A and B are shown apart, each in its own frame.
Chain A
Amino acid sequence: MGYLNFVLHAHLPYVRHPEHARFLEEDWFFEAITETYIPLLQEFEALAKDHLPFKITMSLTPPLCEMLADELLQTRYINHINRLRELAEKECTRTKNDPAFCYLAAMYRNLFEKCHKVFNGYDRNLLNGFRKFQKMGNLEIITCGATHGFLPNLRNSPRSVEAQLEVAVGNYWKHFGQEPWGIWLGECGYYRGLDKQIKAAGLKYFFVDTHGILQGEPPSPKGNYAPIETPHGAFAFARDQESSKAVWSAEEGYPGDFRYREFYRDVGFDLDMKYIGPYIHPMGLRINTGIKYYRITGKGNYKEPYVEAEAKQATQEHAENFIFNRDKQDEWLSTRLDTPACIVCPYDAELFGHWWYEGPMFLGKVMRKVLTEKDHRVHLSTPRDYLLSHRDVPHSDPAFSSWGAGGYADVWLNGSNDWIYPHLHKIGNLMQEVANLPAGNEQDRRARNQMARELLLAQSSDWAFIMKTGTMVDYAVKRTKVHVHNCLELHRQIRTGSIYEPFLQNLESTDNIFPEIDYKVYAS
């Protein structure tokens, strides 16, 4: 029996702007709640209702946890979903004479109503939902670097890597009341020797991309179908390329099926400005609302209305295909491995639901099939379960790798974003310098803690990523510069003993991630 490990990496950068009544980039978070997190929780609820003991692993990154638990963002999400409920209601009226579109408008109305109900049902904090399934033993929640830093590019700054890990573990404890077993390294970024810090942070396992294991020294004889134990005693699991490709691939991936919903047709862009104006950005900028009436249909502009029943049928077929191939994969591997194959299928959580609207349904069907059809070779598992059963694994030293384009650091180190590293490394050095100073008064302590927050926020890999992809670059550049600038200013104020209270208070209220942080994590 092979182990089938679904790993969903749920992450968003910390975007919270109380100084503005509405802030466009906060919509990333609201969209993810509506389209990904709530649909996933709904699938979990459905499986649990049928007493199906599903198993899945999710990395809920510290910034995401902090945002999910933030009262301001919770309130703003309610406002957001209320706007969508109102829009969907109007759409039902507007489309009443066209059965195909009217059906879809009603579908969205029901979806938004459900989101509103589910969100309130978890007391506006979806962490309550994830915690529920964690306690039930269905969901293995792991952590991630404190702000999703790409650790290979931070290692030149003392204590930055350790702090990313230690702050994350502390934050996990705050939200989940226990220590995490595993970590999803930001961008799956690993470099040789990082296992020492991972182990020191109390983490038992992590993930690398396939070539991290295959280029390891020595290469594990079991390839990427069993974890390896690293020189410092941590365990590394590697991604299975074949199952990844089935979902990610542009040419062969399931989400490209023409019956699925078309992401790029949204009423936010399609409808008349006078009509849609109240539901897009107040400045008149057209944005995705989440109401999308078309299916992919084919390559090109021609689009046909979405047919929900056909899309559901597609998820059924793809779920069957996915399981069929995993069974065959396990069958082949079982004759060549002396231990059960450990197939690791990691995906960005936001792929499911946001990009691939039907993704959560697909996932639910896969898990349901594995659990209800007894003839399958693979069974659902988590890395923790695997390690509890199989501690005798090959020893190897994984190699520098990431799951980004090209497999290494290219995405986060190129002509579009390399300018950030002299600054990131500098403020990392300054942070250590400040952390090693003799303790000061309470205000000084707060300033040092805030400096640590600003440093961590600047280190988020999202900014370099956005600079590379070329979308919303201004925001990413500004976020990087603002946090670096704040760090430098706080450092100056701390060193000169001239901490300006309003400045500090303002930063504490806006960049309020990790209220529990202790700057001493940077002390050498």
Chain B
Amino acid sequence: MKNKVDKNSKRPSGKSKSPSASDTKNKGKSAKPSKSAPSPVPDKKAKSGKDAKPEKGVVSKQATPQGKSSDRENSGKASSSPSQANRKTNAPVSKRPATLKPSARARGKAESAEMADELGLEEFSISLIKAGETKERIWRTKNFQQYAAQKEFGFPDLAPELPGHYNQPALVLMPKDPEYMFCYWELTSNLVEEKSREKLPGNNYRETLKINWESKSLFEPNFTFIPVFFWARKWYFGVPQVGQRYQVELGWLSEGGHFISILSSNLSELPESWATTQKRLANQGEVLAYSSRHTKTLGSSEHMVVEDSRSFMQEWNLSSESMTSSSWSRGASGETDASKNGKASEAPPSGRAKPRSASAKTRLEVSGKVRPGTQVSVSGNPVFIDGQGLFKTEFPYQKDSLTLELTSPTGASRSFTYDLKELVLN
């Protein structure tokens, strides 16, 4: 009986013209040109690809630093964002009061020279460090372009920059799936300073995430440690045991096992793995076995639309941007990405995740010199600047680009994006 249900569910009834039949019928025609509409049909590649996104290639070709301002200029000139159509004619008149001016981005051109000077980045280098080899690229930069003025009200031309931190300690734990969790944190210098007094003299400590869970007995382990970097401010980790309730603590662990907890997270629960559930339900009656057997892939089965979309986009050179008017559909789930790329493409620093295009052991060393007093962050992570304006930081290679952000003591800011692909490929 059960088999009968399955059998009949797979395809439309025999009398129907099934997709597979159509497939066979059309196999021989696949090489023929498509019958098109009567009037001249332009080359799809030329029309859709080039018309759609003229500024796209500008970014991808770069191996040299690009200020955000120059990117924005390009997009502005090409007017490539359809969202911005007619914006000039409808832009409200700016009457923003002085009290509302939070950043230097809104300053006029007259100040640009002053700001460029204020934000001088005298030298900057990125080193790619692999086992047995080190590659270094040095950029020396003199002039930076000013941010475009931001429209004050309405939907802005440029996305406003959000604060890099809120000066409030926090450690938040979130479940991702039965095997992975995510946490993010914010540390304040006061808290770090206060807690660092607990370090035992003569001990080496390293930054660590302590993962706690509820053990089922006194004789089972209920915590473990994974090394992290405080500057990363977020971490994915594979859980030691599925189906548990977890809490994490951020702190320092000494070689001798002394752990200093700086922050504790909320509790967060994970379900058991689906494989375990299936195994368990297989023995709990026919209905449960049937229910669980039909859930091969959890979540929606929305592969169709995305898969089709991508295959055609590739063949016709229709960029994702050019297919914009379809992107709203919930049918176009991100599922394909997830199933193809798994966790690897989503990799912020993590013990189990792998970076995309460099080995897991590859690291980046970023160093440079700025005007003293300038704040620098590398891909969102603040770095320490010494009294001479020198900075140096190191972290795992995760992305093919790196963003350097400078903020002057007066609040003026600049950012630059560096494409690292060339460095990796070379």
Contacts and interface: CB of A to CB of B under 8 A. Distances in A.
A400 B175 contact: yes
A19 B300 contact: no
Nearest to A253: B304
Contacts of B48: 269, 286
A436 interface: no
B170 interface: yes
Contacts, number: 445
A488 B163 CA distance: 10
Nearest to A31: B325
A318 interface: yes
Contacts of A39: none
A241 interface: yes
Interface string A237-268: 00001101110111011111111000110011
B346 A250 contact: no
Contacts of B170: 422, 425
Given A210-B291, A250-B304, A403 B299 contact: yes
B162 to A, nearest CB: 6
B318 interface: yes
Nearest to B296: A241
Q: List 9 tightest A-B contacts by C-beta distance, closest first.
A: A407-B298, A405-B335, A223-B291, A28-B328, A258-B22, A317-B16, A415-B346, A298-B26, A250-B304
Nearest to A300: B30
B8 A325 contact: yes
Contacts of A419: 234, 380
Contacts of A500: 96-97, 99-100
B176 A337 contact: no
Given A250-B307, A298-B30, A500-B96, 8 more contacts: A191-B269, A214-B295, A258-B19, A271-B41, A303-B34, A405-B300, A419-B380, A469-B334
Given A411-B334, A500-B99, A328 B37 contact: no
Contacts of A404: 299-300, 333-335
B281 A214 contact: yes
Interface of B: 1-2, 4-5, 8-13, 15-19, 22-23, 26-27, 29-42, 44, 47-48, 51-52, 79-87, 89-92, 95-97, 99-100, 102, 152-156, 159-163, 166, 168, 170, 172, 174-178, 182, 184, 186, 234, 266, 269-272, 274, 277, 280-281, 284-288, 290-292, 294-295, 297-309, 312, 315-316, 318, 320-339, 345-348, 380
B19 A485 contact: no
Given A267-B37, A269-B47, A285-B322, A481 B159 contact: yes
B19 A244 contact: no
Interface stretch (A7-15, A70-78, A120-128, A134-142): A7-15
Nearest to A241: B294
A272 interface: yes
Contacts of B162: 423, 481, 484-485, 488
Interface string A264-290: 100111111101000001111111100
A94 interface: yes
Given A301-B315, A329-B9, A354 B329 contact: yes
A459 B237 CA distance: 25
15 contacts: A24-B82, A215-B271, A242-B5, A253-B304, A263-B326, A264-B308, A270-B44, A273-B47, A273-B51, A418-B234, A421-B184, A472-B321, A474-B159, A481-B162, A482-B156
A284 B322 CA distance: 11
A27 interface: yes
Given A19-B90, A500-B100, A503-B100, A355 B298 contact: no
B239 to A, nearest CB: 13
Nearest to B81: A474
A477 B159 contact: yes
A475 B335 contact: no
Interface in A479-524: 481-482, 484-485, 488-489, 498, 500, 502-503, 506, 510
Interface string A410-421: 110111101101
B149 to A, nearest CB: 16
Given A25-B83, A328-B4, A406-B299, A321 B337 contact: no
B85 A409 contact: no
| Chain A interface bracket (under 10, 10 to 19, 20 to 34, 35 or more) | 35 or more
A481 B186 CA distance: 19
Interface stretch (A95-103, A174-182, A385-393, A444-452): A95-103
Contact of A304 (B35, B41, B102): B35
A231 interface: no
A263 B13 contact: no
A259 B17 CA distance: 9
Given A219-B281, A286-B51, A211 B298 contact: yes
A258 B321 CA distance: 26
Contacts of A156: 172, 174, 266
B324 A471 contact: yes
A395 to B, nearest CB: 16
B277 A211 contact: yes
B2 A422 contact: no
B42 A22 contact: no
A192 B175 CA distance: 12
A475 B297 CA distance: 30
B303 A355 contact: no
B327 A249 contact: no
A320 interface: yes
B17 A411 contact: no
A24 B322 CA distance: 11
Nearest to A304: B35
A43 interface: no
Contacts of B380: 419
A369 B307 CA distance: 32
Contacts of A42: none
A259 B22 contact: yes
Contact of B153 (A12, A336, A484, A502): A502
A239 to B, nearest CB: 9
A406 B40 CA distance: 44
Given A20-B85, A506-B153, A283 B79 contact: yes
B83 A17 contact: yes
Contacts of B29: 298, 302
